[in-house]
A and B are shown apart, each in its own frame.
Chain A
Amino acid sequence: MNPKLMSEIVASMPDEIAKGIQKTGLREGGVWMTVDRDLLPKIAGHIHNSWGAALVSMHAVDNRFITSDFKLCVVLALKGQDDFVTLVASVDAKDPVFPSLTSEIFCANWYEREIHDMFGLRAKGHPDLRPLVLYDDWPEAAFPLRKDFPVDAKVPRVPRPYVFREVEGEGIFVVPVGPVHAGVIEPGHFRFSVAGEPIIDLEIRLGYAHKGIEKLSERLDYAKGVHLAERISGDNGFAHSLAYCQAIEALSSVSVPDRARYLRCVFAELERVHTHLGDVGGIALDTAFTIGAQHAFILRERMMDVNDLLTGSRFLRGVNCIGGVRKDIDEEGRSKLIERLVMVKLDYQEFYDDVTSTPSVMDRLETTGVLSCEAASDLNIVGPAGRASGVDRDVRRDHPYAGYRNLSFKVPVLRQGDVNARFQVKSEEIMESISIIEQAISNIPEGELRARVPVPAPGKTAMSLVESPRGELVHWIVAGDGSPFRHKIRDASFHNWRAMEVAVLGDIVPDFPLVNKSFGLSYAGNDL
């Protein structure tokens, strides 16, 4: 980032806000500002609203045994520039309260609830501080991400009632669904308030898949952390491990060999293709258009088969390592991959035509589950779901990593925001991904597969953004002694779950599974 921009940002703030900035500095990851706790909402709100910045992450660090306070970090991505602003505020350990950002930045809501759950820092003025990730019978004063909470601690079960939103009125019924479902899907509780069939309100309660990944990562050395990252969210394993590896590489200031960068693009796009194929197949299946669905699932199977052929893992596990990749694609693998891609491309076109030329399917997809452009930008919806509602953001283009700077691709953006728009965006992305793989594989430079990476010095901070198939995901790491001191993970689903509460309003209950499928969100990635 150029220093001029930084001073422009500071200069644009009114004096009563600007006085809260204690220190500014440039680092590799953009601007760092140390700000006053009480003015944090105003400063973050100013950058968010006047500079069109998007909230990338908000999290806390327990620094009590180093600087005897908690640090609160707010990371914002500036619009149209490959730059980030990180605001750091100190929260007194004896007075663990900070003013809530939610009134300035709407999508800070869940972040503050999460911080409240995990660190016991209270967001003053927050509209809703019910537990977000912790179980219902978790005791009130146990904060898992604090440093004095042992990772293997056994906590007593203390029943705590969870008060759901209540909708009152004549003929309003509550339909609770889950957390255990009939299909083989992850756990989540959906509470509909319905008037007959139309949905008046939906409240989503997650956290049932919480397994303490961030805490676990703090005691795993970096090499093992890669395997942990791969398992954060099953079908997005490569994207997560890529973000983790890139963050560690940034901590050690190592640059990855060019061949590995290109290979990472190839594998990341292979993951996108098979995830998207599963999603579009699922959309067809939920309308009961089974022939179409099976067509997509066959293609997905073919792509996973090619993953297996190239790397020995259908889910691309064990491919990433810190400093590069473990698997090379040789001449034979390359020709097989290209052959398979051509086949899938043609077959996908057939599937696409099948679906779009069947009126009964299109009738189900169109105008169902509309997420308006305003709601999408307020909730900071990322990935294909955001792009189907006019949010023109794609990490691969806006903050290029791996080899994306040298590859050309289109970012499809639609504005309708319905199930059909999400289907169309994913369809186009499958084609773009295939084209990216073809470009990368035919221009791949010769060279090493991985660089040697020294263990990062404790205390350094790095962040990595990756466009996973579900959208932007973030790994933010403070280096510790051989393992991360703090490892913040934010999956795309953490932003996108809230979109569903808005998108289903006005639809009828039987259409909910279709809307849900069109967002294709991860429970495990959200609950961590």
Chain B
Amino acid sequence: MNDLLLALIQAALILGLAPLVTGIIRKVKALLQSRRGPPVLQPYYDLRKLFRKSSVISSDASWITSVTPFVCMIAMMVAALLVPVFITASFGSLGDLIVVVYLFATARFFMALAALDAGSTFGGMGSSREMMISAIIEPAILLSIFSAALIAGTTDLAGISQVLVLGGTDLLRPTLFLAFAAFFIATLAENARIPFDNPATHLELTMIHEAMLLEYSGKQLALMEMASMTKLMLCITIAWSAFFPFGMATELSPLPVAVGLIAFLVKLLLFALAIALIESSMAKMRLFRLPNLLTGSFILAFLAVMSFYIL
């Protein structure tokens, strides 16, 4: 019962803070470009605005288009229940890390279908590119998470973080660093960030993720946007809690929980800053060079697993 309550609180935290992270990344990018930029809370305002609007649906679209925003959002909400945030507890009986990865895959599958659904050209291009990229990141994500699971001896996320926190610096092995690096690259790809995709572009021909959302408007768009912001937040949370959960509370008492919360917020900020810096300092890669970088991520994850057995 306690676990469920904690999972619910942590999921609420993830959902509630997700737009803030996107807002912080946008703000930092704007400042780096010598712009003032929109307020940090702008994503919340945008969502509120979109939720008040009605949706326009293409007359060629089938039920897939109407169902997809809910599928995406629900997948992210369920995933949020499985990820520990500030305390090493989650609704683990519902599923483990592998379930999280496949919840992402479910959302992506429906998103790609919905993009094809209305028959628009950009949607089709977006789907095909997204599928090309996801075919390569999925193994990289799984493999990098496996290496953390190998160390902890469990695939339950809360279990992994518990083992790592209790084990302390003894368990700080090269495996974790390699796996974290692989997961970081995969996170950028999974969330359509530069150098994989440009979240700020208006050029339909270059889009990957955004091209799949072009047909959406109003409430449906709000759900899709919320789902992608939550996904970014989830990836960041998983990156810290699966590889470097240090600072996380292991018991339910005020001091550790406070430390856990602060550690989480600091890590969140660090990750957001890193994304903003990367997005500002490099260009988007050519589409057909993306597999090279993703393969790099896969190799890092592979090395992480190997190093676990060798070292």
B66 at interface by CB-CB < 8 Å:
no
B125 at interface by CB-CB < 8 Å:
yes
List the B side residues contacting A509 at CB < 8 Å: 125, 205
A375 at interface by CB-CB < 8 Å:
no
Q: How far is the CA of A182 from the CA of B289 in the complex (A)?
A: 26
B49 at interface by CB-CB < 8 Å:
no
B280 at interface by CB-CB < 8 Å:
yes
Cβ–Cβ contact B286 & A298, under 8 A: no
Cβ–Cβ contact B201 & A288, under 8 A: yes
Q: How far is the CA of A513 from the CA of B286 in the complex (A)?
A: 12
A138 at interface by CB-CB < 8 Å:
no
Cβ–Cβ contact B33 & A291, under 8 A: yes
Which one of A50-58, A156-164, A358-366, A484-492 is at the interface? Answer: A358-366
Q: Mark B282-307, 1 if CB is under 8 A from A, else 0.
A: 11111111000000000000000000
List the B side residues contacting A513 at CB < 8 Å: 203, 205-206
A interface, size bucket: 20 to 34
Q: How far is the CA of A13 from the CA of B309 in the complex (A)?
A: 85
Cβ–Cβ contact A298 & B203, under 8 A: no
List the B side residues contacting A173 at CB < 8 Å: 121, 124
Give the residue of B128, B281, B285, B287 whose beta carbon is less than 8 angstroms from that of A363: B285
Cβ–Cβ contact B33 & A363, under 8 A: no
List the B side residues contacting A416 at CB < 8 Å: none
From residue 271 to 296 of chain A, which have CB atoms closer than 8 A to chain B? 284, 286-291, 293-295
B194 at interface by CB-CB < 8 Å:
yes
Q: How far is the CA of A177 from the CA of B124 in the complex (A)?
A: 13
Q: A363-B289, A508-B287, A509-B125 are in contact. Are A183 and B203 (CB under 8 A)?
A: yes
Cβ–Cβ contact B287 & A364, under 8 A: no
A176 at interface by CB-CB < 8 Å:
yes
List the A side residues contacting B32 at CB < 8 Å: 291
Identify the closest chain A residue to B289 (Cβ): A363
Give the Cβ gap from A74 to chain B, nearest Cβ, in Å. 38
List the B side residues contacting A287 at CB < 8 Å: 283-284
Q: Mark A145-179, 1 if CB is under 8 A from B, else 0.
A: 00000000000000000000000000001011100
B117 at interface by CB-CB < 8 Å:
no
A512 at interface by CB-CB < 8 Å:
yes
Cβ–Cβ contact B283 & A361, under 8 A: yes
Give the residue of A183, A197, A290, A360 whose beta carbon is less than 8 angstroms from that of B202: A183
Cβ–Cβ contact B33 & A294, under 8 A: yes
From residue 491 to 517 of chain A, which have CB atoms closer than 8 A to chain B? 508-513
Cβ–Cβ contact A510 & B283, under 8 A: no
B200 at interface by CB-CB < 8 Å:
yes
Q: Mark A62-101, 1 if CB is under 8 A from B, else 0.
A: 0000000000000000000000000000000000000000
Cβ–Cβ contact B29 & A290, under 8 A: yes
List the B side residues contacting A511 at CB < 8 Å: 286-287
List the B side residues contacting A175 at CB < 8 Å: 121, 125, 205
Q: How far is the CA of A184 from the CA of B267 in the complex (A)?
A: 38
Q: How far is the CA of A385 from the CA of B70 in the complex (A)?
A: 49
Give the Cβ gap from B7 to chain A, nearest Cβ, in Å. 37
List the A side residues contacting B202 at CB < 8 Å: 181-183
Q: How far is the CA of A455 from the CA of B136 in the complex (A)?
A: 72
Give the Cβ gap from B96 to chain A, nearest Cβ, in Å. 36
Q: How far is the CA of A294 from the CA of B36 in the complex (A)?
A: 12
Best-surrounded residue of B201, B202, B206, B281 (most CB of chain A within 10 A): B206
Cβ–Cβ contact A176 & B285, under 8 A: no
B interface, size bucket: 20 to 34
List the B side residues contacting A197 at CB < 8 Å: 287-288
Give the residue of A181, A295, A360 whose beta carbon is less than 8 angstroms from that of B282: A360
Cβ–Cβ contact A291 & B280, under 8 A: yes
Q: A175-B125, A182-B203, A509-B205 are in contact. Are A360 and B283 (CB under 8 A)?
A: yes
B138 at interface by CB-CB < 8 Å:
no
Identify the closest chain A residue to B32 (Cβ): A291
From residue 180 to 218 of chain B, which have CB atoms closer than 8 A to chain A? 194-195, 198, 200-206
Q: How far is the CA of A23 from the CA of B287 in the complex (A)?
A: 59
Q: How far is the CA of A294 from the CA of B127 in the complex (A)?
A: 31
B35 at interface by CB-CB < 8 Å:
yes
From residue 359 to 378 of chain A, which have CB atoms closer than 8 A to chain B? 360-361, 363-364
B34 at interface by CB-CB < 8 Å:
yes
Q: How far is the CA of A272 from the CA of B158 in the complex (A)?
A: 61
Cβ–Cβ contact B205 & A290, under 8 A: no
Give the Cβ gap from A282 to chain B, nearest Cβ, in Å. 11
Cβ–Cβ contact A290 & B200, under 8 A: yes
Give the Cβ gap from A291 to chain B, nearest Cβ, in Å. 5
List the B side residues contacting A294 at CB < 8 Å: 33-35
List the A side residues contacting B280 at CB < 8 Å: 290-291
Cβ–Cβ contact B203 & A508, under 8 A: no
List the A side residues contacting B282 at CB < 8 Å: 289, 358, 360-361
Cβ–Cβ contact B33 & A290, under 8 A: yes
Q: How far is the CA of A289 from the CA of B195 in the complex (A)?
A: 10
Give the residue of B128, B195, B287 whose beta carbon is less than 8 angstroms from that of A360: B195
Give the Cβ gap from A399 to chain B, nearest Cβ, in Å. 37
Cβ–Cβ contact A363 & B198, under 8 A: no
Identify the closest chain B residue to A286 (Cβ): B203
Give the Cβ gap from A207 to chain B, nearest Cβ, in Å. 21
Identify the closest chain A residue to B282 (Cβ): A360
Give the Cβ gap from B29 to chain A, nearest Cβ, in Å. 7
From residue 167 to 208 of chain A, which have CB atoms closer than 8 A to chain B? 173, 175-177, 181-183, 196-197
Q: How far is the CA of A175 from the CA of B211 in the complex (A)?
A: 13
Cβ–Cβ contact A291 & B281, under 8 A: yes
Q: Mark B28-43, 1 if CB is under 8 A from A, else 0.
A: 0100111100000000
Best-surrounded residue of A175, A288, A358 (most CB of chain B within 10 A): A288
Give the Cβ gap from B231 to chain A, nearest Cβ, in Å. 20
Identify the closest chain A residue to B214 (Cβ): A182
Q: A298-B34, A509-B125 are in contact. Are A288 and B205 (CB under 8 A)?
A: no
From residue 454 to 498 of chain A, which have CB atoms closer than 8 A to chain B? none
Give the Cβ gap from B194 to chain A, nearest Cβ, in Å. 5
What would 8 more interface pairs be, CB under 8 Å, given A288-B194, A364-B285? A183-B202, A197-B288, A288-B284, A360-B195, A360-B282, A360-B285, A361-B282, A363-B286
Residues of A within 8 A of B (CB): 173, 175-177, 181-183, 196-197, 284, 286-291, 293-295, 298, 358, 360-361, 363-364, 508-513
3 pairs of A and B residues whose beta carbons are closest in the complex: A288-B284, A287-B283, A294-B33
Residues of B within 8 A of A (CB): 29, 32-35, 121, 124-125, 128, 194-195, 198, 200-206, 279-289
25 contacts between A and B (CB under 8 A): A177-B121, A182-B202, A182-B203, A197-B287, A287-B283, A287-B284, A288-B198, A289-B283, A290-B279, A291-B280, A293-B33, A294-B34, A358-B282, A358-B283, A360-B284, A361-B282, A363-B285, A363-B286, A364-B286, A508-B286, A509-B205, A511-B286, A511-B287, A512-B205, A513-B206
